[in-house]
């Protein structure tokens, strides 16, 4: 079976023993992710009063969460019910690349949202002229186009590798784990992977930190009421940003120290980045932003009646 590598659950006895329980739990999480994100996207789409840059960026972030979840959950659900869990090397490379695309797009979208909040709070009189709909479209295009170019090069380099081992001790495909299976020189792929990771993570993180430093500086000079309103709109974004950054760091740690931590811990770390952010995003934005929350309540009232 030289064209296949195994996505083995053998290292996780608990999953094998209670796989039907894990299947229904995973299915419930996936359906919850779809429903929660879809509801908020639907609310933003239907209400023209929400067709503003901030809410458009929120909808884009939730669409990216749906994309990320759909890359892994269907295959994971199939594997939980299957006796033989295999995936072609090409399909495995594609899945791992799409997961990285989701993560990179998440960082760029969060940095674009930070820019929107920065202009809104620090330059309110110029907001309408700076953050125009044409600007929003350009930012959204860059948020997915730039990561897609980075991932495209990564796919080409990975396809050139020749695996000499076909057992992947993971529940889904991960680029770092795939590269470890190769018996050819991986210097080019590893070097590009570090470069791509640095470009995808560090500039957005630095930009978000800089933006919030400016925002907090301006807020300290404003009245208490203005400060409260400003921080109220920034809090959801800041919470999502911190959460996603930490879960991404945990995934990187898992890739580097996989042999030094228990299997069950490695498994939890490997999936939390695709569980917590997609669930947290709609909950935070749906509850913390009154404009969205009030419209969700109206939908709920209509359904009940």
Task: Provide the domain limits for residue 273.
Answer: 4-304
Give the CA radius of gyration of the chain. Answer: 21
Domain count, the chain: 1
Comparing 58-62, 125-129, 164-168, which segment has the lowest mean pLDDT?
Answer: 164-168
Taking the C-alpha atoms of residue 201 and residue 189, their distance in angstroms, rounded to an integer, is: 18
Give the pLDDT of residue 227: 72
In the structure, what pLDDT confidence band is assigned to residue 33 with cuts at 50, 70 and 90? very high
Q: Give the tens place of pLDDT for each residue, 42-99.
A: 889 888 888 899 899 999 999 999 999 999 899 888 888 877 777 777 788 888 889 8
Give 88-128 as a DSSP string: EHHHHHHHHHHHHHHHHHHHHHHHHHHHHHHHHHHSGGGHH
- Region 19-39: mean pLDDT is 89
Taking the C-alpha atoms of residue 216 and residue 210, their distance in angstroms, rounded to an integer, is: 10
Select, from the ranges 24-33, 150-159, 228-237, 289-298, the one with the highest average predicted confidence (pLDDT). 24-33
Q: Tell me the CB-side half-sphere exposure of residue 197, using CA atoms within 13 A.
A: 13
Distances (CA, A) of 235 to 53, 107, 153, 267, 291: 17, 17, 36, 30, 15
Average pLDDT, the chain: 80
- Angle, in degrees to the nearest 10, between helices 53-81 and 89-122: 160
Give the pLDDT of residue 1: 37
Q: Are 251 and 273 in contact (CB under 8 A)?
A: yes
- Sorted by sequence, the CB contacts under 8 Å of residue 4 that are 6+ apart come out as 86, 87, 88, 89, 166
Comparing 112-116, 179-183, 201-205, 267-271, which segment has the lowest mean pLDDT?
Answer: 267-271
Give the pLDDT of residue 297: 73
CATH code where residue 39 lies: 1.20.1070.10
What does the angle CA 258 – CA 68 – CA 275 come to, to the nearest 5 degrees? 60
What number of other Cβ atoms are within 10 A of residue 138's Cβ? Answer: 12
């Amino acid at each position: 079976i030289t064209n296949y590598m195994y996505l083995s659950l053998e290292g996780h006895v608990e999953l094998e023993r209670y796989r039907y329980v894990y299947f229904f739990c995973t299915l419930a999480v996936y359906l919850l992710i779809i429903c929660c994100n879809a509801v908020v996207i639907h609310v933003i789409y239907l209400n023209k009063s929400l067709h503003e840059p901030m809410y458009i960026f929120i909808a884009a972030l939730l669409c990216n969460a749906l994309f990320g979840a759909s890359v892994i959950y269907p295959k994971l659900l199939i594997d939980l019910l299957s006796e033989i869990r295999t995936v072609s090397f090409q399909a495995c490379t594609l899945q791992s690349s799409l997961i990285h695309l989701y993560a990179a797009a998440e960082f760029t979208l969060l940095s674009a949202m930070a820019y929107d909040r920065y202009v809104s709070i620090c330059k309110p009189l110029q907001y309408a002229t700076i953050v125009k709909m044409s600007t929003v479209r350009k930012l959204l295009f860059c948020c997915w186009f730039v990561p897609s170019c980075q991932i495209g090069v990564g796919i080409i380099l990975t396809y050139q590798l020749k695996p000499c081992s076909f057992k992947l001790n993971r529940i889904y495909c991960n680029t770092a784990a795939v590269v470890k299976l190769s018996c050819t020189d991986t210097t080019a792929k590893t070097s590009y992977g570090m470069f791509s990771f640095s470009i995808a993570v560090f500039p957005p993180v630095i930009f978000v930190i800089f933006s919030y430093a400016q925002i907090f500086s301006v807020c300290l000079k404003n009245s208490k009421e203005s400060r409260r309103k400003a921080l109220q709109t920034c809090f959801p974004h800041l919470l999502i940003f911190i959460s996603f950054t930490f879960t991404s760091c945990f995934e990187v740690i898992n890739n580097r120290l996989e042999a030094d931590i228990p299997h069950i811990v490695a498994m939890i770390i490997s999936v939390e980045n695709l569980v917590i952010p997609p669930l947290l995003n709609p909950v935070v934005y749906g509850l913390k932003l009154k404009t969205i929350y009030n419209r969700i309540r109206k939908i709920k009232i209509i359904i009940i009646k």
